[in-house]
């Protein structure tokens, strides 16, 4: 009898444990416990969304709730989450490119209901119905991407305009104002892609290395790799900003290229609160004219807890720019200059390379700039400049952290490529 009671108790305990979150993989249970606690009075809505999600959608719903920022845990309603999930899974069933996605990509770059800090609009159903007509009948994900991107400004009646009311306009807010800047336009494009099962996310930089501003754009996961596209598209991985992105400083978070992640990472996306991003910037790596500006921006650090996660994708954009230079046809009077900076004349190994900003002067005019390879970069990597043959230039190498500010005069020859190893006075 005692043995029978013991078996029954074990069965009851096991049943209770397994039914805590029915249909949800055990991996999420502790995450859900934490999320529901943070949700407070709104935990009822989240539990309802989880309970009412169809069997095939339960893991996706668990993913959203598990990694949901607190602002959403305490406010989002079950109806909102269920509609978002329902139409995301409709797209997964309808489109072959979505059906074959890894769950990790579908959960993180198709299923999410928001991108960054925008108002949480119920955009999914509307966008599914709007953009299905463009995706319908397309032979590939790439065809669908351009079918949408080339018509989206007319479909949404939203154009670039700096008179918009705020930077992070949600799609429905931008449609109401008929305007947005790069961040708002990129959110519209990303949500349109997600609506038809195309993995998409925002990417951007807090500040270009020429200090002329910042920028945001969209990325799509196509052919099993991330590629970028703009609201006003050229083609994949081509746009006006390739040279700016390709000159990002991999040593300075202010100039990194970031991509958004719904799932937490170990890094915040740069606008997750600009003050927080500024708080990790080393002022010694900034030009004098920027230091006071950054100090003002730092004053905002810590006032709001950041909650938008990101990924550092700087190297991919450096590689894209490098490839574009290598594929660029030189004019008859042009040469490709390969530049590396070394610590001193006695060594030329990888460990002796120094990353410096190199400004190229022709006379008194700066004609180009970039950042020389670091000691951790491949020995075959160079900073490349397209220069005129048989011409004299001044190269100014700076690295405030190492107190480097040194000028070099070079004269190009007649070869297609020429190497320039600069050595500092360190």
Average pLDDT over residues 413-425: 91
Where does 115-318 sit in CATH, by number?
3.10.620
Residue 381 has a pLDDT of 78
Residue 273 has a pLDDT of 44
Residue 326 has a pLDDT of 79
Q: How many residues does the chain have?
A: 426
pLDDT digits (tens, 9 = 90+) for 10-65: 444 444 445 689 999 999 999 999 999 999 999 999 999 999 999 999 999 999 99
Q: Do domains 115-318 and 330-423 have the same CATH topology?
A: no
Here the tokens at position 85 are 């999930």
Q: DSSP string of 370-398?
A: EEPPPTTS-TT--EEEEEETT-EEEEEEE
Mean of pLDDT over the chain: 89
Above 50 in pLDDT, residue 214? yes
Closest CA to 115 of 184, 42, 39, 206: 184
Per cent of the chain over pLDDT 70 is 86
pLDDT digits (tens, 9 = 90+) for 125-167: 999 999 999 999 999 999 999 999 999 999 999 999 888 999 8
Residue 16 has a pLDDT of 46
Burial 78-116 (b: 16+ CB within 10 A, else e): bebbbebbebbbbbbeebebbeebeeeebbbbbbbbbbb
Above 80 in pLDDT, residue 290? no
What is the 3 state secondary structure string of 228-240?
EECCCCCECCECC
pLDDT range class, residue 7, cuts 50, 70, 90: very low
pLDDT range class, residue 270, cuts 50, 70, 90: confident
Residue 376 has a pLDDT of 73
Beta strands in 293-353 (DSSP E): 309-312, 334-342
Residue 341 has a pLDDT of 94
Above 80 in pLDDT, residue 67? yes
pLDDT range class, residue 286, cuts 50, 70, 90: low
Residue 275 has a pLDDT of 53
Closest CA to 396 of 380, 416, 410, 377: 410
- Show me where the domains of the chain are located: 115-318, 330-423
Residue 83 has a pLDDT of 98
Spell out the CATH class of 330-423: mainly beta
Residue 344 has a pLDDT of 80
pLDDT digits (tens, 9 = 90+) for 352-394: 889 999 999 999 999 999 999 888 776 777 899 999 999 999 9
pLDDT digits (tens, 9 = 90+) for 95-130: 999 999 999 999 999 999 999 999 999 999 999 999
Lowest mean pLDDT among 21-35, 206-220, 269-283: 269-283
The residues facing 227 across adjacent strands are 220
């Amino acid at each position: 009898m005692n043995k029978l009671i013991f078996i029954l108790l074990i069965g009851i305990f096991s049943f209770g444990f397994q039914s805590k979150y029915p249909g949800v993989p055990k991996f999420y249970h502790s995450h859900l416990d934490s999320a529901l606690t943070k949700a407070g009075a709104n935990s009822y809505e989240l539990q309802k969304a989880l309970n009412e999600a169809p069997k095939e959608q339960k893991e996706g719903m668990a993913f959203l709730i598990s990694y949901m920022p607190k602002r959403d845990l305490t406010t989002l309603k079950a109806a909102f989450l269920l509609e978002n999930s329902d139409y995301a899974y409709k797209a997964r069933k309808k489109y072959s490119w979505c059906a074959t996605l890894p769950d990790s990509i579908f959960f993180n770059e198709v299923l999410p209901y928001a991108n960054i800090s925008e108002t949480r609009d119920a955009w999914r159903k509307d966008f599914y119905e709007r953009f299905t007509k463009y995706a319908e009948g397309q032979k590939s994900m790439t065809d669908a991407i351009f079918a949408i991107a080339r018509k989206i400004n007319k479909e949404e009646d939203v154009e670039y305009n700096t008179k918009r009311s705020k930077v992070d306009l949600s799609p429905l807010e931008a449609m109401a104002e008929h305007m947005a800047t790069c961040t708002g336009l990129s959110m519209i494009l990303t949500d349109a892609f997600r609506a038809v099962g195309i993995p998409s996310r925002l990417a951007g930089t807090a500040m270009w290395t020429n200090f002329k501003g910042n920028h945001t754009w969209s990325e799509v996961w196509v052919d099993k790799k991330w590629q970028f596209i703009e609201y006003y598209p050229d083609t994949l991985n081509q746009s006006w900003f390739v040279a700016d992105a390709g000159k990002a400083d991999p040593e300075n978070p202010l100039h990194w290229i970031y991509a958004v992640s719904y799932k937490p990472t170990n890094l915040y996306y740069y606008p997750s609160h600009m003050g927080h991003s500024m708080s990790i910037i080393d002022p010694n790596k900034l030009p004098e004219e920027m230091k006071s500006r950054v100090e003002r921006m730092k004053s905002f650090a810590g006032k709001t807890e950041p909650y938008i996660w990101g990924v550092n994708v700087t190297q991919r954009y450096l590689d894209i720019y490098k490839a574009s230079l290598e594929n660029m046809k030189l004019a008859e009077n042009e040469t490709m200059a390969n530049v590396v900076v070394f610590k001193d004349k006695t060594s030329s190994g990888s460990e002796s390379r120094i990353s410096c900003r190199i400004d190229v002067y022709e006379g008194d005019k700066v004609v180009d700039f970039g950042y020389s390879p670091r000691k951790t970069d491949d020995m075959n990597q160079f900073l490349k400049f397209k220069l005129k043959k048989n011409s004299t230039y001044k190269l100014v190498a700076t690295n405030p952290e190492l107190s480097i500010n040194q000028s070099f005069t070079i004269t190009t020859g007649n070869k297609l490529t020429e190497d320039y190893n600069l050595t500092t006075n360190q």
